Amino acid sequence: MSDQAARKPRPGDEEELVIERFDESGRGVAHHKQCIWSVLRARPGSTVRVKALRRRRHEVEAVALSTLATDPRAVAPSCAHFGACGGCTLQDLAYAQQLAGKHALVVASFQRHAALDEGVDVLPVLGATHTERYRNKMEFTFGNRRWIAPHEPQGAADGFALGMHAAGLWQKVVAIESCAIQTDVGNRVLAAARAEALAQNLEPWCVKRHEGLLRHMVVRVSGTTGEVLVNLVTSRAEPERIGPYVAAVIARVPEIGTFVQTVNSQAATVSYGEAELVHHGPGWIREVLGGVEFRVSAQSFFQTNSAQAARLFELVAREAAPTGAERIWDLYSGTGTISLILARHAREVVGFELVPAAVADARSNAERNGLTNVRFVEGDVVETTRRETEFPEVVVVDPPRAGLHPKLVEPLARVPARRMVYVSCKHSSAARDLAALRPYGWRAVRVQPVDLFPHTPHVECVITLERAP
């Protein structure tokens, strides 16, 4: 082997790679020169010319310079903004290939942590029936530096944009004409908000100088009732300018049932703030899942794909298998979606959640649905579960991406329940947690991935655990 061929890649090296798969962040992965290459904007199945950016031991981060051969299975992306927009990174992969890639990622995580017994396989990913217009919530950004596409003429207007951050360029905003994963009415709201902001001369936010009026717009369209909520985030209240703007947007899209304004004068680009003003409607929309009605307000957490969330929760209920006689614990209960759906089939459900606003949402949803056999305990799960005096027969956990708190593993493993259902939004964390639960006798008997986010590398999993005899 020549010296050139044997030496480890260095930043600046250019190579030709055949991309094998995508990773958890949607980058293309290839093995080459005894290293694992992770390549931004590279599709599985394609041959690409890449430039190495940095290397840490055997891992090289690279960027694709050009595509030399595309995968014959590649499909035309359904969105005109694909590539420029930072979302939907997998849209040019056939959906079946996306699902196969997600399955491979889950399998790899469980293998890495030796988390499954022999004979327990990861089931095929439960794919979405609708891979477009599936999101019930989209957050758009106003900016004063519009991203200019390479084909646009010189001197094109670039001082105003409403859309998504450009991929890898946080200061620039891609003006989104139509987003393929949000609803038609959501796209009409987007067009109306842009047209009226320009007509009424309302200045967009500048992330560099921290000035301007319009910052973000969150559009929520209930996937189950079709009700529409718009949350406009501004830097100041300015009712004399925002009032007419809101009225004009509603006149263009009369389906808007609630229009709220959130004031955020801080530099941080977030869509919550110091004050929330309801300009129109009740301030919330309704979603109905598992026979339970949920009120979703501007700041409430709710799964963003209602149709797949319904299937996910149905699966959780099936795996928890309540007969009506059980006490169930729902750890990391959020706004109580799982607790309330299970409460209809169990003797008692106790939800444990840290965030007070989520607990308040959960309690009011319980009350309105007449569910009296459910209670929510506010605080850190490690502390609050320790204070309970009666153990459950079934435990459901739905932790954040980091997975179970390390201090929770042992007390949770010692709970004398017969069944545990682990709902995971990050399979690598779940696989690590499962491996940590194994010494206490807990074994995964089923792993069912569910796709809630077509065209992205994310995948949820419902893992059923039983205590080994």
> What residues make contact with ligand SAM under the rule CB under 6 A?
301, 332-335, 337-338, 352-355, 358, 380-381, 398-400, 405, 425
Residues belonging to the chain: 469
Provide the 3-class DSSP secondary structure of residue 118: coil
Please pick, among 79, 85, 425, 461, the residue that the annotation labels catalytic.
425
Nearer to ligand SAM, 105 or 292 (CB): 292
Minimum gap (Å) between residue 292 Cβ and ligand SAM: 11
CB of 300 to ligand SAM, least distance (A): 9
Report in angstroms the alpha-carbon separations of 168 from 46, 172, 174, 189, 197.
22, 9, 12, 26, 26
What are φ and ψ of residue 192, in 5° steps? -65, -40
Contacts of 4 (CB under 8 A, 6+ apart): none
Q: Tell me the HSE value of 251 on the side-chain side, using a 13 A CA sphere.
A: 8
Query: Which residues lie closer than 8 Å to 438 by C-beta, 6 or more apart?
Result: 115
Give the residue with the Cβ less far from ligand SAM, 227 or 460.
460
Amino acid in position 331: L
Report the alpha-carbon distance of residue 220 to residue 285 in Å, rounded: 8
Residue nearest to ligand SAM (CB): 334
Structure tokens at 434: 């499962």
Task: Indicate the residue among 281 and 457 with the shorter CB distance to ligand SAM.
Answer: 457
Active-site residue flag, 425: yes
- Nearer of residues 140 and 332 to ligand SAM, judged by Cβ: 332
**CA-wise closest residue to 423 among 343, 349, 355, 334:** 334
Q: How far is the CB of 384 from ligand SAM (least distance, A)?
A: 7
Strands 228-234 and 419-424: unpaired
φ and ψ of 83, to 5 deg: 100, -50
DSSP string for 214-262: EEEEEEEE-TTT--EEEEEEESS--HHHHHHHHHHHHHH-TTEEEEEEE
Degrees (nearest 5) of the Cα angle 271, 276, 282? 110
User: In terms of CB distance, is 37 or 332 closer to ligand SAM?
Assistant: 332
* Beta carbon nearer to ligand SAM, 218 or 263: 218
Provide the 3-class DSSP secondary structure of residue 9: coil
Q: How far is the CB of 365 from ligand SAM (least distance, A)?
A: 10
First to last CA, the chain: 55
* Closest distance to ligand SAM from the beta carbon of 444 (Å): 19
Task: Please report how close the Cβ of residue 463 comes to ligand SAM at its closest, in angstroms.
Answer: 14
At position 244, the amino acid (one-letter code) is P
355 vs 262: CA distance, rounded Å = 20
Torsion of CA 289, 293, 295, 301, to 10 degrees: -30
Shortest spacing between CB 338 and ligand SAM, in angstroms: 5
Query: For residue 423, what is the DSSP state?
Result: E
Q: Which is nearer to ligand SAM, 24 or 132 (CB)?
A: 24
Residue 370 beta carbon to ligand SAM: minimum distance, rounded to whole angstroms: 20
Cβ distance to ligand SAM smaller for residue 43 or 458: 458
Catalytic residues: 425
